[in-house]
Structure 1
Amino acid sequence: MKERYDNILVAIDGSPQAHQAMMEAVEAARRNNARLYLAQIVNDSGLLVNSATSVSQILSEEKKAAYEALEKEAAAIDYYNKQIITAVGNPKRVIAFDLPKTYKIDLIYMGATGKGALERILVGSTTTYVVNNALCNVMVVK
């Protein structure tokens, strides 16, 4: 375990576990005087589109909604050194690889969000993937 973390990422998906992870990430950021990144990833896989709406329009609207949700979460946090990130892509890969590379993340906080057993078998858990593949340490919050 590192003695000090400089850049902490918390992945937010709207679940109670993600909210708890965010609250714990805030405290870790305070202890380390670290930059806190609040991220929400718009999953673009399996996107179903009707002919009247373009994929780019749907993704743009989803990204805007994600940003607005993160703004509300960030406003409730009493911490000065924070940044909101929204991205489009596969959440597993974006959280485990893309964001840590781009922002020099050295600790990721995630909620242990539960999916149904069938979905977990077919899709796989984002948290499990990140824990096993991330480029940095991962803290899972229940």
Structure 2
Amino acid sequence: MLQQYKHILVPVDGSYEAELAFEKAVAVAKRNGSDLHLVHVVDTRAFQNISSFDTTMVEEVTDTAKKTLDKYIQQAKDAGVSSVDYSIEYGAPKTIIARDMPKKLDIDLIMIGATGLNAVERLLIGSVTEYVTRTAVSDVLVVRTDLENKPAKQPSKRVKP
């Protein structure tokens, strides 16, 4: 039996790896006639230690995310994906991506970049991708290559231990 995914979740954070995941997810969604849902998670924990925390900081991050996500939506529609939307969530990216969004949207596939932007978190407590692959309630595809299945041309921004 051939698995056909109907509801695909793609976390995007502005990283090159997330861009690759988005591009592949568009191709998969188009082939399968799937719904494509993009999510950007604003990690509110990053603001907890800022003594001069101001809501305008979160608003600026949100506005930037909206602009990026609007571009992604248009790109997916131009590629022929008819059902595509996004949400911006606030909280811990790991649990939102692995559990909350899949349950809320009946996600059957998460397509996620091999690494993301937060090198410090990856070094200290493990990557979001690693957590999602371990605990997600749906299938997870970790994207490491471009649309031609060749290694990503841009070097990863990984911190080497």
TM-score when normalising by structure 1: 0.87
Q: Assess, with a 3 A threshold, how the Cα gap between structure 1 residues 86 and 2 changes in structure 2: closer, same or farther.
A: farther
Alpha-carbon deviation of 1:67? 1.5
- Residue identity in the other structure for 1:62: V
Q: Percent identity?
A: 37
For 1:50-104, what per-residue CA distance to the aligned partner results, in whole angstroms no more than 9, with x for missing partners? Answer: 44x53x4432332222111111122222222100111111111100011001111
Partner of 2:72: 73
Which 10-residue stretch deviates more, 118-127 or 18-27?
118-127
Q: Is the 8 A contact 2:122 2:128 kept in 1?
A: no
Structure 1 residues 65-104: aligned runs within 5 Å: 65-77=64-76, 78=79, 79-104=81-106
In structure 2, what is the equivalent of residue 25 of structure 1?
25
Gaps of at least 5 residues in structure 2 are 145-161
Identify which of 132, 135, 149 aligns with 1:133: 135
Q: Deviation of residue 2 (structure 1)?
A: 6.5
Alignment of 1:49 with 2:50, yes or no, is yes
Mapped to 1, the partners of 2:75 and 2:92 lie a distance apart of 27
Runs of 4+ in 1 over 4 A off after TM superposition: none
**Shift of residue 120 of structure 1?**
2.5
**1:38 aligned onto 2:66:** no
How far off its partner does 1:119 sit?
A: 4.5
SS at match of 1:67: helix
What per-residue deviation string (whole Å, max 9, x for no partner) do you get for residues 14-49 of structure 1? 111111111111111112211000111111113143
Amino acid at match of 1:49: I
Question: In structure 2, do the counterparts of structure 1 residues 137 and 34 end up closer, same or farther at CA, with 3 Å as the change threshold?
Answer: same
In 2, the alpha carbon distance for the partners of 1:23 and 1:136 equals 20
Q: Are the equivalent residues in 2 in contact too, given 1:111–1:127 (CA < 8 A)?
A: yes
